A and B are shown apart, each in its own frame.
Chain A
Amino acid sequence: MESLAKRLAQGEPAAFAELYDVCADRLHHYLAVRMGSYDAAGDVLQDTFVRLVRSRRRFAGVENPVAYTFAVARNEAHRAAGRGAREKRRPMATADELFVAAPDDHAARLAAESVAAALAKLSEELREIIELKHYAELTFREIAEVTGLPQGTAATRYRTAIGRLRGFLAKEWS
């Protein structure tokens, strides 16, 4: 069986479905945090896949289709943010938009709200690293591919972000 990247480069519809299934949830969460809106994340996700189809021949030289998809999504989010720069947007998606918590699970709801609030306090760069590392489950090598940062810088930023999150959460829970 041919590799996913090769099948994507050939424009095979099933390959795009496979790519969607592999990364859509993680990508949507990343975009929701980046765009500050659950609905806007869906639009950008769709734009990302249309963009991937248009430039599908580039997949032939891509080693890691998931990291490449995140990189394209990042560019699309940047473009969409530029388009909506004049619109009044929320700076951060709500806890309900970002996390799943049963209505009767108070601990989970509290954790979701605390983490959403703590994430909102981080700078955009640190929040992106947290997203890519913890929720999108990318390696630092993949994060370097997506963001263009050196691996070491990405790792340092991640540790800084985790430290700050821990500080914010400790303050809130105390």
Chain B
Amino acid sequence: MNFDRDDELVHPLAGTMPRGAPPELRRDVLDAVARELASANGRSTTAWLAWGVAALVLLAVGLNVAVGMNEERRMARLRRHHPQRADVAELAETVVTLTDKASADRFRDYLARMLPRRAAPPEARPPESWPQNEIRAVGGVLVDP
């Protein structure tokens, strides 16, 4: 349905001519538009910088955690066992102080079995089983330092 048809009416407003915007307003409005666009671009740059800094901080924290975990694993490998947990040791001490000696000894045995053991050092081989090239290498070092 076309609602816009009303041409058959003699329009009571036909004799009037609307006054438009003052000519100087155009410059004022377009200046305000330009200022707003410039400040919006500035805000956008600042926002990008803020996001960049936040991302770098997160990356630094993540790397720090990763390096810490890696270092802990490396130290554990060097010690050949995982570091004993402080709360387990504390619990063992508490059990020893609160119960009788037999229970304390039993608990200590359980705890000793639960804790990872230090790996045994490699067995020493008798000199007869040493390979000849190793004997020559060691002899060379001893004779000619």
* B26 interface hit (Cβ, 8 Å): yes
* A35 interface hit (Cβ, 8 Å): no
Pairwise interchain contact A42-B21, C-beta atoms closer than 8 A: yes
Measured CB to CB, the closest approach of chain A to B47, in angstroms, equals 14
Residue interface mask B41-67, A partner, CB < 8 A = 1: 100000000000000000000000000
Measured CB to CB, the closest approach of chain A to B41, in angstroms, equals 8
Known pairs A25-B21, A162-B12; A140 contacts B3 (CB<8 A):
yes
B20: which of A16, A28, A139 is its contact (CB, 8 Å)?
A28
For A118, list chain B residues within 8 Å (CB). 12
Pairwise interchain contact B6-A162, C-beta atoms closer than 8 A: yes
Interface on chain A toward B: helix, strand, loop, or mixed SS? Answer: helix
* B29 interface hit (Cβ, 8 Å): yes
A13: which of B9, B11, B34 is its contact (CB, 8 Å)?
B34
Known pairs A28-B21, A49-B33; A139 contacts B16 (CB<8 A):
no
Residue interface mask A106-149, B partner, CB < 8 A = 1: 01100110010010000000000010001100011000000000
For A85, list chain B residues within 8 Å (CB). none
For B15, list chain A residues within 8 Å (CB). 107-108, 111, 115
Pairwise interchain contact A50-B19, C-beta atoms closer than 8 A: no
Pairwise interchain contact B3-A20, C-beta atoms closer than 8 A: no
Closest to A139 in B: B4
* B36 interface hit (Cβ, 8 Å): yes
* A68 interface hit (Cβ, 8 Å): no
- The answer for the CA separation of A24 and B30 in the assembled complex, in Å, is 12
Closest to A140 in B: B3
A45: which of B4, B9, B19, B21 is its contact (CB, 8 Å)?
B21
- List residues of B whose CB falls within 8 A of some A CB: 1, 3-4, 6, 9, 11-13, 15-22, 25-26, 28-30, 32-34, 36-37, 40-41
21 of the cross-chain contacts (CB-CB < 8 Å) are: A11-B41, A21-B26, A24-B21, A24-B26, A25-B18, A25-B20, A27-B21, A29-B18, A46-B32, A49-B32, A50-B32, A50-B33, A53-B40, A98-B18, A98-B19, A99-B17, A118-B12, A134-B11, A140-B4, A154-B3, A165-B13
